[in-house]
Structure 1
Amino acid sequence: MSRIHRHWLPWLVVVVELVGSLGSNARADTRGPAALGALLALAAVLPVLLTRPRAWMLAASGLCVGGYFAAGYSEGPIFMALPAVTFAVALSSPPRRWVGWALLAAVLVVAGILLNPDGPRFDGGPAARPWRSGAGLEGDISTWQAFGQVALIAASGAIATALRSRNEARAQRQRRAVSDERVRMATDLHDGVGHGLAVIAMQAGAALHVLDRDPEAARRNLEAIRAESKESLDLLRRQLARLTDTDAPAGSAPRAPEHGLADLPALVERVRSGGLDVSLRLEVTSAPAEAERAAYAVVQEGLTNVLRHAGASRAEVSVVASSGAEMVVTVRDDGRGSDIPGKERRPGMGIVGMRSRVEALGGTLEAGPEVRGFRLRASIPLSGSSAGGAEGLA
């Protein structure tokens, strides 16, 4: 059910149509009562008050306008009734739904104008047609009025269609932005909180294992759990703030900290302190910011998968430059990779997110089991960066 549109402009159109038609017919010598002409004009323009007027209302409006002219009522604002209704209908409906009804309405209006018994005509005198040359030709203003009315209807429909297309494109961009933001938030939560929980679980297991015979080692594990928990909680609070801060402008909400290559040693050390033997080979010290963030995300997700799924005792992480044109990030473990027969492997959200992040930079990502263990390899372009400075094995 259509609702009454609360904007003031449609009401102004209706008032002008009603008052203007009543005034023009009250001063003119018309065949019918002026009030009836005003009611016809009012009925013709009423659909503009609806939020989503139906396409068939164009035909109803055209019938009222055509009847207005055929009854011999005076000219005036009635010429704007059908264009206004066409604009309202075209603004809320695709062209395929209203064009046919608009053509029918235009035919009804043109018929009414041409059948108007009191329509303005040239009498053929030279004073009435100074723009014509030659004798014996007669001009008919009604024909030009009909042509002008059709042109107004077509122009109104075209303008409304263009505005509707622009509004739809804007709404689509907004929906895409919201979807992209949700994906970014999910990726941040998965990468940050997911990794933190995996490290916490590993540290807790290590603490329980040495609690009785090495309290000091258990204490170090608990301190690592506290630090990792605090970082994960901070990230979770930032994500919740982005969800609940509805008054903040778009893009102003706090985002997760942006990690880079310089943060890789600390990341590896957190995992290593839980009992997993991790080696780091870092031969790239600087790269474009997006490339550094992608490399960090690949290493983080790779180590998280090792902790959660591999059952490995050792992992190797390497970040090296390949011919100076790209950065190759590899995470390899010695856990179970291809030794699970009959199990279908499907890429999880982490690998899908990594692949999307790497491919957005023009790189590639490969992930799959080896004879022993699992390997994750990402090639990330280094265009515009200064790579170099080996740091060797850590």
Structure 2
Amino acid sequence: MTSLARAQRQLHAHPLALDAALAAGVLLCMLAGSFVDPHGGHGVSWRIRSPDPLSLLLMTLSAVALVFRRSAPMTVLALTGAASVIESVTGDPRAPVAMSAVIALFTVAASTDRATTVRAGLLTMTILTGAAMLAGPLPWYAQENLGILAWTGIGATAGDAVRSRRAVVQAIRDRAERAERTREEEARRRVAEERLRIARDLHDVVAHHIALVNVQAGVAAHVMDKRPDQAKEALAHVREASRSALNELRATVGLLRQSGDPEAPTEPAPGLDRLDELAGTFRSAGLQVEVARTDHGTKLPAAVDLAAYRVIQEALTNVQKHAGSEAKAEVSVVRVGPNIEVTVLDNGHPADDGPPAAGGGHGLLGMRERVTALRGTLTTGPRYGGGFRVHAILPVKTRTATTGENA
């Protein structure tokens, strides 16, 4: 099988040599046919005869023309057809020059479209058969004349079948290549989305806990000499925040492990059920946080629950970092129809570095990406009279959850 495939590749790599070999074979067949008389006398069905010099010349010229059948199929068909017509009119008995015309017609049908094949086939059959019937030495109803009609029709039909098969094979290859490209693009898209999701999680975890550690460390440094008890309490909060950061980082990075890894994290992602715990961490860092909820009893999809939690976490982190030491934050979670609305307000005054703009910063960008991915909306911006507002509207039922319920 390997040798056959290698031979096919070599033949396709040298089409002119293949056509020359084909032309030589056709010439041999025509010469063999020209030396045999199928209507021998004295009860003999076959006999040897001497072909006319003109017939030998026409056979040679038509065979040479077949060498160039790929580069100029219509020209070769015209030349071989003309040689066949001349032989039909002048030769007696005729040599099988029409064989070259059949090969040329096959090439035209295999290399052009169906409409061209029909026109060329009908024209070739009409001219060759008409010339043989009307001007040939045999009666118009002779089987040799009908044989020309049949062989030209077979050549055109076979060439069209080869062209159709090539088109089908090429279409299958194109579909396979498109499917492969689509799979590769889908894989790249999924990898990019996963990298973006992990980057958002890492940012939320690190920004939240490092902000708490920074505040508590500052408090400890400020009261270390005068109030060591309060400094110890602040350092305890630092230790707790750092431990929580390490745990969440371990859980986030652990998602990169193989699915069968026994060390992969199994605890659920945080959600609104841990909202009070989240608010408590900020209160321990000195930020006054009030929480109001009217969504009790609402069961949220995991993605929506996590997104709402991360939006509140990032918003409170920004308040802690940018709103000043006297800032207060208000968190509200409200069920409104098919959506759940999360709002975080503060009344702080920006520090010198200022809060991130409404459309900038990795934190706000991450929040917007989370909400948009769930077909929700996020609005951020300064409040009238001072402070900042973050408002997210998330659908209670995502497309994935709805599909699962319908299934």
TM-score by length of 2: 0.61
Q: How does 1:77-226 map to 2 (within 5 A)?
A: 107-108=70-71, 137-140=149-152, 141-226=154-239
Q: Distance in 2 between matches of 1:317 and 1:64?
A: 85
Deviation (angstroms), 1:106: 9.4
Q: Distance in 1 between matches of 2:26 and 2:204?
A: 74
1:293 aligns with one of 303, 306, 315: 306
Q: Distance in 2 between matches of 1:255 and 1:111?
A: 72
Q: Which residue of 2 aligns with 1:375?
A: 389
- Select between 290-299 and 353-362 the one with higher mean Cα deviation: 353-362
Q: Distance in 1 between matches of 2:197 and 2:274?
A: 20
Q: Which residue of 2 aligns with 1:262?
A: 273
Q: How does 1:45-56 map to 2 (within 5 A)?
A: 45=12
Q: Distance in 2 between matches of 1:225 and 1:331?
A: 25
Q: Distance in 2 between matches of 1:339 and 1:373?
A: 14
Deviation (angstroms), 1:42: 4.8
AA aligned opposite 2:364 = I
Q: CA RMSD in A?
A: 4.0
Determine if the alignment matches structure 1 residue 72 to structure 2 residue 25.
yes
Deviation (angstroms), 1:367: 0.8
Q: Which residue of 1 aligns with 2:112?
A: none
**Identity across matched positions, percent:** 33
More helix, by proportion: 2
1:16 aligns with one of 1, 4, 8: 4
AA aligned opposite 1:321 = V
Q: Which residue of 2 aligns with 1:389?
A: none
**Maintained 8 Å contact 1:109/1:146:** no
Provide the aligned length of Structure 1 versus Structure 2. Answer: 295
- Select between 264-273 and 151-160 the one with higher mean Cα deviation: 151-160
**Maintained 8 Å contact 1:312/1:334:** no
**Maintained 8 Å contact 1:70/1:112:** no
Q: Distance in 2 between matches of 1:352 and 1:198?
A: 18
Distance 1:305 1:234, change over 3 A: same
AA aligned opposite 1:173 = E
Q: Which residue of 2 aligns with 1:347?
A: 360
SS of the residue 1:139 aligns to: helix
Deviation (angstroms), 1:340: 8.5
2:11 aligns with one of 44, 50, 62: 44
**Maintained 8 Å contact 2:322/2:353:** no
Distance 1:198 1:177, change over 3 A: same
Q: Distance in 2 between matches of 1:228 and 1:338?
A: 23
Deviation (angstroms), 1:187: 0.8
Q: Distance in 2 between matches of 1:17 and 1:145?
A: 23
Q: Distance in 1 between matches of 2:371 and 2:215?
A: 28
Q: Distance in 2 between matches of 1:356 and 1:190?
A: 13
Q: Which residue of 2 aligns with 1:82?
A: none
Q: Which residue of 2 aligns with 1:236?
A: 249
Q: Distance in 1 between matches of 2:280 and 2:22?
A: 87
CA offsets 1:343-381 (integer angstroms, 9 cap, x no match): 976421211221222233333211111221111111223
**Maintained 8 Å contact 1:280/1:318:** yes
Distance 1:109 1:219, change over 3 A: farther
**Maintained 8 Å contact 1:310/1:373:** yes
Deviation (angstroms), 1:160: 0.9
- Select between 354-363 and 165-174 the one with higher mean Cα deviation: 354-363
Q: Distance in 2 between matches of 1:112 and 1:64?
A: 19
**Maintained 8 Å contact 1:106/1:153:** no
Q: Distance in 2 between matches of 1:278 and 1:339?
A: 23
Deviation (angstroms), 1:196: 1.0
Where structure 2 has 5 or more consecutive residues not aligned to the other structure, the ranges are 28-67, 81-98, 107-128, 130-142, 399-407
Deviation (angstroms), 1:64: 4.6
Q: Could you say which structure has the greater relative contact order, defined with CA pairs below 8 angstroms and 6 or more residues apart?
A: 1
**Maintained 8 Å contact 2:319/2:327:** no
CA offsets 1:285-310 (integer angstroms, 9 cap, x no match): 23313332222111100011112222
CA offsets 1:136-179 (integer angstroms, 9 cap, x no match): 73324444443333233222221111100000000011001100
Where structure 1 has 5 or more consecutive residues not aligned to the other structure, the ranges are 1-11, 19-37, 46-59, 75-104, 125-131, 385-394
1:334 aligns with one of 333, 344, 347: 347
TM-score by length of 1: 0.63
Distance 1:106 1:283, change over 3 A: farther
Determine if the alignment matches structure 1 residue 319 to structure 2 residue 332.
yes
CA offsets 1:252-310 (integer angstroms, 9 cap, x no match): 96488511111011111111111122222223223313332222111100011112222
Distance 1:332 1:117, change over 3 A: same
Q: Distance in 2 between matches of 1:346 and 1:380?
A: 19
CA offsets 1:315-363 (integer angstroms, 9 cap, x no match): 223223254443222212222259989x976421211221222233333
